Structure 1
Amino acid sequence: MFAKYIIRLDDIAENMNNSNFFLLKDIFIKNNIQPLIGVIPNNQDEELLRYPKSEFDFWQEIRELQRLGWNIAVHGYNHKFETNSSGILGINKRSEFAGLALEKQNEKIIKAIKVFNENKINIDAFMAPAHSYDINTLRCLFDNQINSITDGYGIFPYKKEGIVFVPQLFSKPRKMPFGIYTFCFHPNDMTIDQINELDIFIKRNRNNIITFNNVINKYNNSMYKIVINSLIEKLVKSYRIYRAR
C-alpha cells in the first residue's frame, strides 16, 4: 500500500491573505487537486481581521470551489479562543471549544451550521481551531450530524463517539512509505518558498494525493490499523514530551 496524501488549508475567511490563497488555488486547479479547506463562518479573530476584507464575493467563491470538488470543513464558529484548554489532543493551550459547557459549544455549532446553510455550503468535516476540542465538542458534532473530523493521531482513519477522524500529523509535505497523511497549511502565513515547495511536492506526488471525502467513503476500522494508530499516538506524545523538557 502506497502512502496517500490530503492537502488541508486552515483559516479561510473573508479576511485573509488573498494573494497566497489564489496562488495556491491556481496550483491546485492546474494539477487537478481538491484540498480540504477550513472555512470560518463568522470570523472574529483579531489577527485575521488585520487582513483587508475580500473584494470578491467570498461565499460565491466557496460555493464554486465546492462545485469543483474541494471539500469544505467548518473551522469553528468565530475562531476566537475562549479557554486555555488543549483538549483531547493536548497540542495548543487555547481553544474556541474545549473547556466550555456542552450547551455553549452546541450553540456555536448550530450558529456555524446556520451560516453555511444560508450560503448553500455543504459541511464535509469539522476542523477545530488550534486543534483543540473535547468530548463535549464531539457530542455536539454528532448531535448536529457532523460526522467527520480532520485531526487526531495516527496514519489511518479511526472512529470515536460515532465520528470518523482522519488524522493530521504534519505541517510540511514529505514522502512517506504507507498510510494516509493530512498535510496542514496556513495560507496566511506561507512564504513564497513554502508555496513553491508545496507545488513541487504536488507535481511529484499528484497520483497519490486524494480528497478528504474519498478517505471517509472508504473508511474501515481493522484491528491492524487500530494497533498502528495506537503506536503512532504513543510515539508522537512521547516525542512532544521529550521536546518540551
Structure 2
Amino acid sequence: MKFLIRLDDCHKNQHYENWDKILSILYKYNIKPLIAIIPNNNDTSIEFCENTEDDFLTWLIQNKENIDFGVHGFNHSFHKSSKSMYKSRSTSEFNDLSYVEQRMILQNSLDWFRSNDFYPNWFVAPRHSFDKITVDICKFFGLSISDGTEINIFKYKDVLFVPQLYNKARIPLFSGVYTFCYHPNSMSDSDFIELESFLVNYYQMFIEWEEVKIMKVKGCYLRSQVINNIWIIQNYVRNTFFKKYRS
C-alpha cells in the first residue's frame, strides 16, 4: 500500500499561514506533495489576502524544490455542465466545452507556468469535473491526471491516472495507491493535528509523485467507472434518505 498527498487551490490570494503550516508538517516527514495551482484565480470564495503575483511567485520559488506542480485549471470559474467522468458534479471549468475551448484553457495555464520556469506534469481538474475531451488534451500536452475512483493507477487513452478517493489521510481496506487530497485554505487546527498524528505512524508509506510513473499499472478504467457509480449511489442515499431521517 502506497500513499500520496495532493494540496488543492493554490493561488496568489490563498491562506498563506495554512499553506506554510501544512508544508512545514510534510517537509518534517520528507513528504513531497503535489500542489494544484490556479494561475489566474477568479473564485472569490477561496481568497484570503491581497498578495500580489510577485509575492506568490516568490513563495512558490521558495518551495519549488520540495513540491510537484499540478495544473488546476486556469481561473477556477465554472459553468453548468452534465455528468463528468468521475463523481457527480453539476458545474465545471472543462466538462462539456469543445476541444478548442478546453485546449485554450489548458494552454493559457501552461503558458503561465512555463513563463515562470515551472513545468507541471499533472492535471488536476477543479471540482473533479472533466470529460473525455479533457483526457485527449492532457495526452496532447503530455500531462498525467490526478483523479479517478480506483484503488490502483490505471491508463485510459494512453494517459496515466492516479486515483483520488479520500479527502483526508486514513488506512483503506484494500491494498493500492491512494491520494489524500487536502484544501489548506479551509483547514482547521484540528485538521493539522489529525494529519500529523497519521504521519507519525505512517510517513514511510508515502511516495513521491514521480515514482508513480515507473510503477506497474494494476488498475483499469472499467473498474474505475464501476467504483464511481457505487460512490455516486452511496452519496445519493446518504444525502437524500439519511439526511431526511435525521431532520
Counterpart position of 2:232:
237
Q: Secondary structure at the match of 1:8?
A: strand
Cα distance between partner residues in 1 of 2:30 and 2:181: 19
Deviation digits for residues 21-80 of structure 1 (CA, Å, limit 9, x no counterpart): 111111111111111110111111121235332697322332343323x21101101111
**Could you tell me how far 1:91 is from its partner in structure 2?**
2.6
1:187 maps to amino acid: P
- Label 1:229 to 1:38 Cα distance change in 2 as closer, same or farther (>3 A): same
Cα distance between partner residues in 2 of 1:55 and 1:90: 33
Cα distance between partner residues in 2 of 1:228 and 1:132: 19
Asked if 2 retains the 8 angstrom alpha-carbon contact of 1:86 and 1:95, the reply is no
Q: Secondary structure at the match of 1:72?
A: strand
Q: Which of 66, 70, 95 is matched with 1:98 structurally? A: 95
Indicate whether 1:131 and 2:128 are aligned: yes
Asked if 2 retains the 8 angstrom alpha-carbon contact of 1:63 and 1:120, the reply is no
Provide runs of 4+ in structure 1 moved above 6 Å: none
Deviation digits for residues 111-163 of structure 1 (CA, Å, limit 9, x no counterpart): 001000001111120000000001111112212222x1110011101101221
Asked if 1 retains the 8 angstrom alpha-carbon contact of 2:15 and 2:47, the reply is no
**Could you tell me how far 1:231 is from its partner in structure 2?**
5.5
Counterpart position of 1:155:
151
Please tell me the root mean square deviation across aligned C-alpha atoms, in Å: 2.0
Q: Which of 54, 67, 71 is matched with 2:68 structurally? A: 71
- Label 1:232 to 1:20 Cα distance change in 2 as closer, same or farther (>3 A): same
1:236 maps to amino acid: W
Deviation digits for residues 161-211 of structure 1 (CA, Å, limit 9, x no counterpart): 221110100112111352111111110111000011111111111100112
* Structure 1 residues 1-245: aligned runs within 5 Å: 3-53=1-51, 57-68=55-66, 70-146=67-143, 148-177=144-173, 178-218=175-215, 220-222=216-218, 225-226=219-220, 229=224, 232-245=227-240
Structure 1 segments unaligned to the other structure (5+ residues) = none
- Label 1:229 to 1:44 Cα distance change in 2 as closer, same or farther (>3 A): closer
Q: Secondary structure at the match of 2:117?
A: coil
Deviation digits for residues 74-129 of structure 1 (CA, Å, limit 9, x no counterpart): 11011111233341113321111101121111111110010000011111200000
Q: Secondary structure at the match of 1:182?
A: strand
1:206 maps to amino acid: Y
Sequence identity (%): 31
TM-score, normalised with respect to structure 1: 0.89
Counterpart position of 2:243:
none
Which has the higher mean CA deviation after the structures are superposed, 93-102 or 55-64?
A: 55-64
Q: Secondary structure at the match of 1:6?
A: strand
Cα distance between partner residues in 1 of 2:50 and 2:57: 16
Asked if 2 retains the 8 angstrom alpha-carbon contact of 1:41 and 1:78, the reply is yes
Q: Secondary structure at the match of 1:242?
A: helix
Q: Secondary structure at the match of 1:240?
A: helix
2:155 maps to amino acid: K
Cα distance between partner residues in 2 of 1:90 and 1:53: 33
TM-score, normalised with respect to structure 2: 0.88
Cα distance between partner residues in 2 of 1:60 and 1:214: 27
